[in-house]
């Protein structure tokens, strides 16, 4: 992977000039001038996902210049380096091979002189075997009862992907009840323990490192809670499975080797849902549906790897994102799924994007002189419409939005809801793009022929300037295959942007300092008599706490 600063490329300079030329163009004029705009700026992925990026402040020239940028920074070389298992995560000296986890065509992928597909296939076999026993009731708890509840204990990448998918694919769920515990706040695990029966619950302790404080404290609480019920630790073999790279720590915790699903350093935490970290997904929707999830992601991987950049969905969405982030200097991107069960998708993408591209040092070791990853946020539609869309439509900030919806609902009973939901999905991007200036529009609806004094007064407040960009990502259905493809799309979008920003997208050193300081402070809190010597603010806060405890 090359280390080219984007701002030093010719295409960056050319994009800057182009920006000043077209920044005030209005989308309503662009659509008016080019009746074919939708066809030019939309891509149909396998007749399953329609990606419409026509409602953006771009022209064909913008795309050409952005594609030049991708070429100049050697995006193509970077993609091949990732898929070929080169150690592109240089600060941790690791390869980045989540694509191998869904490589269902089983082509050999070599890393450290070994075909990683052998391990991947063994892992899939083990997940298939265990999930079958647990789902069909053959796996018994300590007192001989079948499992009814699964509790996934993990945080960050060991929680967000699996919990988001289990919720998104609720329509595919079997009889097992799924629970996710991530937060260190005792309320999280207590709330779950209230709902479950120790005799029929299986805990999955998911932690790549098996050193994460939140996960260990929650796993220990669960173990103690079970012990208080059974008055022995002999239940562990029947009620605890671990998913981790750190076999030694898992064994020390008390989980036997057979009950450990291992994985490898080339799987990054936030890209791990495709590995055994996704075992809760397998348990919830069954192994064959999990395979469909992998199939969808694999299809997107192949699209990313083999499609010319001018028709390549992750590349184009990444470039358009850079257009706003680095030229319009928009700070954020909103993710707006019009699907209630996809409501955790924005939170999932926060980690994918912000932990990957929230970096300020380039691949040459220098501070960057350009913006890197955007702030990701969002909410399900139509809830968001009644909360923050006011700012999207009439605020002073430019917020590029991704609208996500499906043609077919997963709720087959209340189909009329879906028609209404989709009408909002269509109309919001229309309103954002084209706005409304016509003073009489409202009056026309009310059969009033001429504007009143009151309506003239209200005019500036009711005017929508439009020209607010959005992508519409329209899936045939939120099903395992399409969801797999959608997630892979965003993963590759993030990687593409990281390559262009010239940063390392696969480490996360920024989360370490807080963890380290918490350890030191924790000693000060436990040792009541210890004099605390931090800064005056931290001292003040701790002393306030100590005055009550």
Peptide bond into 382 cis (omega under 30): yes
Q: Cα–Cα distance between 58 and 38 in angstroms, integer? A: 12
Query: Is residue 441 a contact point for ligand F6P (CB under 6 A)?
Result: no
Q: Cα–Cα distance between 516 and 520 in angstroms, integer? A: 7
Task: State the Cα torsion 480-414-339-431 to the nearest 10°.
Answer: 140
Among the listed residues 511, 517, 518, 541, the single contact to ligand F6P using CB under 6 A: 511
Q: Which is nearer to ligand F6P, 457 or 509 (CB)?
A: 509
Helices (H), 255-338: 279-285, 287-306, 313-322
DSSP reduced 3-state for 436:
strand
In the shown chain, the binding pattern of residues 232 to 271 toward ligand F6P, with x for contact by CB under 6 A and - for none, equals -------------------------------------xx-
Angle between the N-to-C axes of helices 60-72 and 313-322, in degrees from 0 to 180, rounded to the nearest 10: 100
In whole angstroms, the minimum distance from the beta carbon of 504 to ligand F6P comes to 13
Q: Which is nearer to ligand F6P, 158 or 326 (CB)?
A: 158
Q: Cα–Cα distance between 213 and 183 in angstroms, integer? A: 10
Total chain residues near ligand F6P (CB under 6 A): 14
Query: Is residue 89 a contact point for ligand F6P (CB under 6 A)?
Result: no
In whole angstroms, the minimum distance from the beta carbon of 278 to ligand F6P comes to 13
Q: Which is nearer to ligand F6P, 270 or 344 (CB)?
A: 270
Q: Which is nearer to ligand F6P, 265 or 442 (CB)?
A: 265
Among the listed residues 152, 158, 406, 472, the single contact to ligand F6P using CB under 6 A: 158
Q: Nearest Cα to 488, choosing from 207, 310, 298, 316? A: 298
How many C-beta atoms surround the C-beta of residue 252 within 10 A? Answer: 10
Among the listed residues 207, 280, 289, 372, the single contact to ligand F6P using CB under 6 A: 207
Query: Is residue 212 a contact point for ligand F6P (CB under 6 A)?
Result: yes
151 alpha-carbon distance from chain centroid:
21
Among the listed residues 156, 314, 409, 480, the single contact to ligand F6P using CB under 6 A: 156
Query: Is residue 357 a contact point for ligand F6P (CB under 6 A)?
Result: no
How many C-beta atoms surround the C-beta of residue 13 within 10 A? Answer: 12
Q: Which is nearer to ligand F6P, 154 or 435 (CB)?
A: 154
Query: Is residue 353 a contact point for ligand F6P (CB under 6 A)?
Result: no
Angle between the N-to-C axes of helices 287-306 and 116-135, in degrees from 0 to 180, rounded to the nearest 10: 150
Q: Which is nearer to ligand F6P, 273 or 282 (CB)?
A: 273
Binding piece for ligand F6P, criterion CB under 6 A, among 25-33, 136-144, 151-159, 445-453: 151-159
Q: Quickly list DSSP for 47-80.
A: TTEEEE--SSS--HHHHHHHHHHHHHTTHHHHHH
Catalytic site positions? 355, 386, 515
Q: Which residues bind ligand F6P (CB under 6 A)?
A: 155-158, 207-209, 212, 215, 269-270, 355, 508, 511
């Amino acid at each position: 992977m090359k280390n080219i600063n984007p701002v030093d490329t010719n295409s960056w300079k050319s994009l800057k000039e182009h920006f000043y030329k077209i920044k005030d163009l209005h989308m309503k004029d662009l659509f008016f001038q080019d009746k074919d705009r939708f066809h030019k700026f939309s891509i149909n992925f396998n007749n399953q996902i329609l990606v419409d990026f026509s409602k953006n402040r771009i022209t064909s020239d913008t795309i050409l210049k952005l594609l030049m940028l991708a070429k100049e920074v050697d995006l193509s070389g970077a993609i091949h380096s990732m898929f070929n298992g080169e150690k592109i995560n240089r600060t941790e000296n690791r390869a980045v091979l989540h694509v191998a986890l869904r490589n269902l065509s089983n082509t050999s992928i070599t890393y450290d002189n070994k075909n990683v597909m052998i391990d991947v296939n063994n892992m899939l076999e083990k997940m298939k075997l265990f999930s079958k026993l647990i789902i069909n009731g053959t796996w018994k708890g300590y007192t001989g009862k079948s499992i009814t509840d699964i509790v996934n204990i993990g945080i960050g990448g060991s929680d967000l992907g699996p919990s988001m998918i289990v919720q998104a694919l609720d329509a595919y769920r079997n009889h097992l009840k799924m629970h996710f515990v991530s937060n260190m706040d005792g309320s999280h695990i207590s709330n779950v323990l209230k709902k479950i029966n120790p005799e029929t619950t299986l805990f999955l302790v998911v932690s790549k490192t098996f050193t994460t404080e939140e996960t260990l404290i929650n796993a220990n609480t669960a173990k103690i809670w079970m012990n208080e019920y059974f008055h022995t630790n002999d239940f562990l073999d029947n009620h605890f499975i671990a998913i981790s790279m750190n076999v030694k720590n898992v064994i020390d915790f008390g989980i036997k080797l057979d009950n450990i699903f291992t994985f490898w350093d080339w799987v990054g935490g936030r890209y791990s849902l495709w590995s055994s970290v996704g075992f809760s997904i397998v348990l919830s929707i069954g192994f064959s549906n999990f395979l469909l999830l992998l199939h969808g992601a694999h299809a997107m991987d192949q699209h990313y790897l083999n499609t010319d950049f001018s028709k390549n969905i992750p590349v184009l969405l990444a470039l358009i994102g850079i257009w706003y982030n680095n030229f319009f200097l928009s700070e954020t991107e909103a993710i707006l799924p019009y699907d209630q069960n996809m409501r955790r998708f924005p939170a999932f993408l926060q980690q994918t994007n912000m932990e990957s591209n929230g970096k300020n040092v380039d691949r040459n070791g220098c501070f960057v002189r350009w913006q890197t990853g955007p702030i990701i946020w969002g909410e399900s539609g139509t809830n968001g419409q009644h909360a923050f869309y006011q700012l999207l439509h009439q605020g002073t900030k430019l917020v590029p939005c991704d609208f996500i919806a499906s043609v077919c609902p997963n709720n087959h009973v209340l189909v009329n809801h879906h028609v209404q939901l989709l009408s909002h999905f269509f109309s919001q991007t229309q309103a954002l793009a084209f706005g409304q200036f016509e003073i009489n529009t409202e009056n026309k609806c009310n059969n009033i022929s001429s504007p009143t004094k009151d309506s003239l007064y209200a005019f500036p407040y009711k005017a929508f300037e439009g020209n607010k960009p959005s992508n519409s990502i329209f899936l045939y259905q939120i099903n395992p295959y399409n969801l797999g493809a959608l997630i892979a799309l965003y993963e590759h979008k993030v990687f593409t942007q990281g390559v262009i920003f010239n940063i390392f997208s696969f480490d996360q050193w920024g989360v370490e300092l807080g963890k380290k300081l918490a350890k030191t402070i924790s000693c000060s809190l436990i040792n009541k008599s210890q004099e605390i010597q931090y800064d005056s603010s931290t001292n003040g806060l701790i002393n306030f706490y100590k005055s009550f405890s």
